[in-house]
A and B are shown apart, each in its own frame.
Chain A
Amino acid sequence: MNVNTPSTNKPIAVAMSGGVDSSTVAAMLRRDGHTIVGMTMQLWNQRRLPELSGEGATGRCCSLDDVYDARYVAETLGIPYYVVNFEKRFEEQVIKPFIGEYLEGRTPIPCTLCNNFVKFDPFHELAEGLGADIVATGHYARIRRDEDSGRYLLMRAVDSSKDQTYFLWGLTQSQLAHTVFPLGEYTKPQVREIARSLGIPVAEKQDSQEICFVPNGDYASFIDAYFQEQGIPREATHGSVVDTEGRKLAEHCGVHHFTIGQRKGLGFAAGEPLYVIATKPAEQLVIVGRNPDLLRAELTARQANWIAVDHLAAPMRVAVKIRNKHEAAAATVYPMEDTSRFRVRFDEPQRAVTPGQAAVLFDGDEVVGGGWIE
């Protein structure tokens, strides 16, 4: 059963960012005769770190321009619209863990934290308070109900270049049961065409960036600015870049400036290409090595969430994505004694397995489950 198009007479709460995707969702549901309420989640106050918000800063979330756009779209559609304040929750559930992960030498995915702990649970709660059982968002993914198992399945979007399942693996059965992703069946060009045909004022608006609260994608500067706001001295994060033998090659201003597989910006010139292969935040060390040092055949993951299955009972053949732009690689996933963890063995070793990113397990287009790489 396809549940991407809702069958409900109750109002549907649409999470509206002011962008073309969520605006089109609102317009499509309105066109189909649903009663809808538009909401924009105010997540982050751009004025807090003003040094990051210079001219030309792009990819800003919750900017007044986006709220203006969302409000204008709602007005065009003739639907009730509200901005709701999730700033405190976003800081606690997304910003602080995001920074904490970097400081522990991992490379986090704030979008997944946001989906798991802000966009779905609290937003559902808010929507339910207003009498709306169903939440609609502009994510590119599909939800199906499997009649045999009774489970809600998360499937890749029809448009594989826009597919966002990598960020949605944490959704629970109850969240999936009360969510619709109307765009999952369409390609981005089709969505823009629908937006134009429905007269949406933001039909031609540029797509937003991935990490919405970090201007220009410069997360290291964001973390530096956040430290400054919190009164943490920058020197506290300074340390050394060393090779695999422990020889010091350069100094650096914080492990959060580095991610596994990174080649540029290491602070020194080497005869052969060197890459970050690990960070040791406790000693403020960044370890560099050659390309083969980056290959891993195995990983373990924690905080597993299972979607297609209730739990992992036996080893299973899957395709595993270890970052958003990664081509899913053939692997076998093994259960572990601690059922909140799992182990993946790739058929071929994979480059730059990065702690803090997610390992998302696919069976064809279906998301089997996922977890955080350890």
Chain B
Amino acid sequence: MSTRYYFDHNATTLVGDAVLEAYTAALRDVPGNASSIHHHGQLAKQKLEQGRRQVAALLHVSPKEIVFSSGGTESNNLALFGVAKAGCHVITTGIEHPAVLNPCARLEQCGVEVTRVAPQPDGIVAPDAIRAALRANTTLVSVMHANNETGVVQPVEEIARIAHEAGALLHVDGVQAVGKLAVDIPALGADLYSLSGHKLAAPKGVGALYVRQGLQLTPLLYGGHHERDRRAGTENVPAVVALGAAAQWWNENGAEERARLAALRDRLENAILSVNQDIHLNGNRHARVPNTSNIRFYGISGESMVIALDLKGFAVSSGSACSSGAVEPSHVLVAMGLNNEQARSSIRFSLGRTNTADEVDALVRATVESYWHLRRLSPAFDHER
């Protein structure tokens, strides 16, 4: 295999050049513990707070409102377990990431009532459906900003208004939105907002939770007084420095990059969807992040397509991996009303910073070639054999 092409940026991104430089420099030159009072500690603290300002700037919030964590999963857990208490009611949706759905299932075991609102067939959760699920004891609504599988963007502002009118807080899982959208948290109205470093060209193992000033949050981890008593544990300063550098890159280049990604995504999508009438787009075409395209190939096994493309050097994805690494049909697509077969025949293409038009053209050729080969073997097209 000579060349590898990466079209799975919603799974993770490659660390950016400026980010890598900042990260390695911090690992080398900033050895201190940010809690120490001496010079080494002070330098580490400066770098930590610089990273916090960079992340806060990207989200239009105050640095005090940023809590660093180990990633998106921890941020979601901190938000959900930090706010929801036994006897209260939480509303979430059927298209959330497992890092929200599974904490919610655990909350249920701990005496919290949970309602999971289904999306419309286009992948959008209707604000009215959230309104209809409200109860007197609803304290928290948790909705993702952009969906990882379809890229569909949720009407967060409207859901925030509805939640607040009912006296509930709004948590937004923004892991797939930051960078891909210009995120303005005060304008959205979220009280809590999760992000993950490795989805925006920072390393794995670092993330953040925005916690609106004044909001009381029960910590998940107990220990020292780090992160204003909201998250104990010695701060991972080099990773925060890297996250800060990534935030700054998106702050400076985001608008241009989003336009570039949208053009590439359209190039990819138009070419593949024009092959024939058996190929369809999943999810709303308009309310989407610019890098994601989820395409359904009627009669074709997505799992086979992913493996066939990987053997040709192209990384794409289908469904979600279970613990063994086998593919399970996407719960998101099933929640949108697709049957198991339709969900299994869908492929997610997610573009990123490193992709070029030439790469997209190569991906289109490989995908179409694999499509026709698999179609010839598919029992769904027996009549054509």
Contacts and interface: CB of A to CB of B under 8 A. Distances in A.
Interface string B293-331: 000000001011001101100000000001111111000
B296 to A, nearest CB: 17
Interface stretch (A77-85, A101-109, A169-177, A274-282): A77-85
Given A80-B310, A125-B377, A130-B311, A85 B303 contact: yes
A130 B324 contact: no
A87 B377 CA distance: 21
Contacts of B326: 42, 83-85, 87
A37 interface: yes
B38 to A, nearest CB: 45
Interface string A345-360: 0000000000000000
Given A42-B322, A80-B311, A125-B377, A130 B304 contact: yes
Interface string A41-84: 01001000000000000000010100100010000000010111
Interface string B321-347: 011111110000000000010000000
A212 B183 CA distance: 51
Interface residues of A, number: 22
Contacts of A125: 377
A62 B324 CA distance: 8
Interface in B357-377: 373-374, 377
A64 B373 CA distance: 32
Interface string A85-111: 101100000000000000000000000
Interface in A214-238: none
A131 B311 CA distance: 10
B377 to A, nearest CB: 5
Contacts of B327: 84-85
Main SS of chain B's interface residues? helix
A155 to B, nearest CB: 29
Nearest to B325: A83
Given A64-B323, A85-B328, A131 B308 contact: yes
Interface residues of B, number: 18
Contacts of B304: 126, 129-130
A159 interface: no
A128 interface: yes
B308 A67 contact: no
Nearest to A126: B304
A64 B321 CA distance: 13
A40 B324 contact: yes
A37 B324 contact: no
B8 to A, nearest CB: 15
Given A64-B324, A83-B325, A85-B326, A130 B303 contact: no
Interface string A15-51: 0000000000000000000000100101001000000
B308 A129 contact: yes
A245 B186 CA distance: 84
Which among A11, A82, A83, A85 has the highest number of chain B CB atoms within 10 Å?
Answer: A85
Interface in B81-130: none
Contacts of A87: 326
A88 B344 CA distance: 12
A71 B323 CA distance: 13
B307 A130 contact: yes
Contact of B325 (A11, A67, A128): A67
Contacts of A67: 324-325
A125 B379 CA distance: 10
Given A130-B304, A130-B308, A83 B377 contact: no
Contacts of B373: 129, 131
Contacts of A11: 311
A189 B25 CA distance: 55
Contacts of B324: 40, 42, 62, 64, 67, 83
Contacts of B325: 67, 71, 82-83
A34 to B, nearest CB: 15
Nearest to B1: A80
A131 B308 CA distance: 8
A19 B310 CA distance: 25
Interface string B32-73: 000000000000000000000000000000000000000000
A367 to B, nearest CB: 28
A80 to B, nearest CB: 6
A349 to B, nearest CB: 45
A129 B328 contact: no
A87 B303 CA distance: 13
Contacts of A126: 301, 303-304
Contacts of A62: 324
A67 B325 CA distance: 9
Nearest to B306: A82
Which among B308, B324, B340, B377 has the highest number of chain A CB atoms within 10 Å?
Answer: B324
A148 to B, nearest CB: 31
Nearest to A125: B377
Nearest to B323: A64
A80 B314 CA distance: 13
Contacts of A83: 324-326
A62 B326 CA distance: 11
A129 B377 contact: yes
B129 to A, nearest CB: 30
Contacts of B374: 129
Contacts of A88: 340
A165 B324 CA distance: 30
Nearest to A130: B308
A42 B322 CA distance: 10
Nearest to A66: B324
B328 A128 contact: no
Contacts of A45: 322
Contacts of A128: 377
7 contacts: A64-B323, A64-B324, A84-B307, A126-B303, A129-B304, A130-B304, A131-B311
Given A126-B303, A130-B307, 11 more contacts: A37-B311, A64-B323, A67-B325, A80-B310, A84-B303, A85-B303, A85-B326, A126-B304, A129-B304, A129-B377, A130-B308
Interface of B: 301, 303-304, 307-308, 310-311, 322-328, 340, 373-374, 377
